[in-house]
Structure formats: C-alpha cells, structure tokens
A and B are shown apart, each in its own frame.
Chain A
C-alpha cells in the first residue's frame, strides 16, 4: 500500500503537537541550561553583576584543576565511588540471596531492609549523628561502645580524615542499599525455578549454581545497579551535608557537586564560570566511566 502524503504529514503534525509540551519544558529547563553551562565554562573573568566577560578560553578549567579544594573534592568523590559502589552492590546481593532463601517472615525482612529508602536523608543523618557525633553530653554511641573495649575512641565527624571517610561511606552504603536489595530480590525471584530443578537433577553444586546460573541470569540487573550506582555516587552531595554540615571545604569532605554548589552560592561563591567548568569535568568523568561500564556489560551480559 502506498502511504498517502497528506495523511502522513497530518499524523506527523499530531505527533509533534503531543511532544510539544515535553519539548518546551525540556528545552527551557534542561537543554538551554546545559548549553549555557557549556558556554559559561569557556567565558573568562565573568562578572556576575554586570553579566560581562573578558575573553574566552580554557582558563576556567585550568583554574579549577589547580584549585586544591577541587582536587580534594575530586579525591573524596572517587574514594566514595570506589568504596561504596562495589560494597553496596555486593552486600545487597548477599542480603537478597538470603531474603530469597528464607520463607518465614520474608515480607517483614523485606520491609525492614527497604525502610532506609523511604527515610529522609537528613533523618538518617540524624541517626548517624547520634551514633557518631561527639557533643558536650556524649561521645556518640559508637565511641561509648569503643570505650567499653578500652579504646580511647575517635571523633568521627570532626576528627581524622579516615574516620570521616569511614562514616560517609557507611552512610552512603546504608542509603543506597535498599533500592539495590529491592531490584536484586525481584531479579532473583524472576529466575525461573525450573533452571534450579534442572541443575539439581544434574547434581550441580550450590557454588556452581550461583556462578553459572544465578549470576548470569541476574547480570543485566547487576550491571544496571553498578552503572546507576556509579552515576549516583559521583553526584553525591546531600549525604555529606547531612553529616558534616554545609561548610564541606572546612571539613575536608567536599565532593565535586559540593564544589560546584560552593562556587555558585557558597560563601566564596559567585563564580558561575568555575562552577560550570567543574560541572563539565564531572560530566566527562561520569560519561567515561559509564561508557566503560557499558562496554564491559555488553561483553559480559549475554541474555
């Protein structure tokens, strides 16, 4: 059948009409700012008040990359990413496997493990404060425990770097794990039990069943979690604020997103050019990592 020219155009019009609201909104609030950030990042000596700049070039990038605060933020972000993504995914997998095995109280445990997901970041932060923060009245519950075992304890919130890094990683894992558990338990439940029956009849050992059947079957979901986990961890900011307050530079716990925010609105802020450059550097980092992730997953995931 020959498509009628006019009819085709008519339906195309309709399609564009339906898409228009989304296009307008995305254009105004997503695409335009993105392009603007890109332009900002090359405008040197931008003056916020007069909205003028002196020249274009790579100076903003050079400034950001030489800023010790940015380097610190970059290091923190990478550490958080490298520690929390594998750990949270691995732990979530272990817990999901456990949840998948048990029969009694399964629903209860699933709810319990999912609770942190629906809890507000700052509320969880408060709990962590009670656990870790030293105040005039208490050293924090963890320190109280450490004292029992004869250790002098350590200030997790305002103390040494490793202690702060430990708390923030623990916190991040705690916050991101429920979603991963949710995804993985449903992925595990969706593996057809006939595969396990077939494996049993063939006398397959539990370890082999896990590595040769379960893991490959849920690998698309694991890669999904790893990819989104990387992206999420690179964009970390609110968790740090919840634990260490808004002056993250002083605490030495700033992240890239935190740096971007500070450059825009912080006490030392008012530099949209530097902020844009930092944001674009973060974008490039995430793009690179995600590309690598996808390349690896295309090779490994075969279903």
Chain B
C-alpha cells in the first residue's frame, strides 16, 4: 500500500498563506454553524429519546430555531451583578470560547487536495506536535470555568468552578495516558501521521481498545457532559459556574461546551477511528490525489464525527449524573491505574509481536492485538460492572421474585373499583 502520490508539490509560500487564510475562514464558519446546529440536534435527539416533539415551530422541522436562539441571545440584556470581579467576569466566557475554538486547528479533515497551485493539506495547521497541542489547549479551557465560578462572587458558582478544576485535572491525566498508547502505535504525535498509521495497519480502536475506552470516558469528563456535568449540576448548584451569566456571555459558555464536544469527537475519530480514512477500501489513500477523494474523505470524516456527536447526546439523555466522590474515585482509582497498566501491556505486546517478526502492517498483527483487546475489554467491563448494570439487565429479578410480583399484580387487578385495601 503506497501513500498518496507526492508528485503534487507542496504549494509556494504565498499560496500556502492564502490557502491557510481560506481554510481558517471556511473552518471557522462551518464550525460555528455546526456548533449551532448541534444545539438543535441535542434538543431534537433529547425529544426523540423522551418521546416528545422538540422544537418544531420555527421553520420546517424547527430548523430555524438556531437563528431564533442566536437573535434572542444577542438581544437579551446582559446583567452585571454587583460585587463581581469585573475584568475576570468578562474574561471568563471569552477564555472558554477561544480555547474551544482554536483546539480544532490541528485536526486533519480530509485527504490532501490537488490544486493547480500545488497540494493543499486539508488541515488548518499541520503541526508536528499534533495531539499535544489539543491537550494543551483543552487544559487551558479550565480557566474559563474556574474564573467564571470565582469572579461571580456566588457560592454555587464557586463550587461549580472548584469541582470543574478538580475534575478536569484528574481526567486530563487519564486522557494523556490513553494517548500514550496511540503514540506507541504511531510512533509520532502528529495527527496526520496517526491517520497514516491507521490506514497502514488497522484502526486504533481495534489495536488499543482499552485506551479508546479510557479516552472516551475522559472526554466526557473534560467536556463537562453528563454523566460528569457536576460543575453545572442544576439540582445541586442551580447552574454552577454560569449561574450569574446572562445574554450572550451565557451563550458563549454553551457555544464553548458544544465546540468542545465536537473537538472531543474529532479527536476520538482521528486518534481511534482512522480520521478521514474510508474503511474497507484503499481507494482514498493510494494513487493519485484527486478532488473527488478529498471531498469523499471529508464526507466520511463528517459522518464519523457526527455519529460521535450523536453518541455524546445519546449518553447525556440516558445516564444519570455521578456523585462527586464517585467521579473522583473513578478517575483516580480506576481510570488512571488501568491506563498505566494498559500502557505496559500494549508496549509488551508490540515488543513481542515485533520480536517475533510480525510486520505491523500484516493482518496477523492487528488480529493478535484485537484478540488481546477483546479479552481485556471483557475483563475490564466485568470488573467495572461487578454484576450491577450489564448482567442484571437481562435477568434482574430472581424467578421466584417475578412470580411473587405477578401474583401481587394479579391480586390488585382483580380488586373491584369500590374496594379498598
């Protein structure tokens, strides 16, 4: 399997500059529109899960709801509560919004596109530090939330901010450890190189499934989404860190949250699901690069990305919230040790397979890794579950209990309307 034909030369400096500006504008616009429509998707999917209609008044199927929401947020009065720390109160939503926006810059979203002026890589900034950049930027995102919590001068907001900083630091470590396994596979942190590695071998979700699982759980915690949305737990903290915000500042936190969801999905897709690669074919990543290939791979990337965003929404409307101590013990006592142990296991397995002369690109390599992962994932899920959720779902009740309940129900249904207990 040869990589994409490099006979298309990289562009000159001038073309590079123009192309980068065009990509920045295009991606920013697209990103904002997608973020806006993700809020609609969330409301629609939640309605669907809860058996209601969801927003359906503005435009066909409620499609213009997003515009109405945007106008509403811009027109609303922005209140400035007394005794807030003004500079930080204003800085906080800006920080949350900015970090959420710029994290996207390194994600490759399609095969390189040939143009008359040279080959254009479909990534805004093809940085050699790849996912380290995303980790760095998302680790800055916590400031927006912490500062919002502190500067509001409100005890609920402060509690939300404190919870969020503790939570994000804890899960950042597990997330970083899970990406070490990706590094072991690809030997490089550049996202373009990681996509190329997955095209050459197999998707990382087959090769390092447990790392994918840990990354997924950490991504939920990092984006403050249910089941880890303790910083804004409305039943305990009103609205947590953004309790004092209104108007567009409030909206900025929400845009940041959805932007983070999309970035986390894009990271998962790129690190573990092959990025823009079209599965089961090598048409997209071999031979001559064409515009059609670029568009097809972009569509594939968008499809994978949006499947994942849907997954995020699905989880939010399915699972209840964790208790705070459960969240912390899950992060430190389970995710981190598992991630560390898994690094050792993967490193040993790769070393053993390399030593026994099995090429990384061979079918045997990914089959061996996949078989190992299947066993490990099953062990992990049995330990995580401890007979509570997965296994009792099929047989929650003893047969005797079922009989007893049925008998009780029958007895109740035979009562005549006037009769009382």
A complexed with B: no
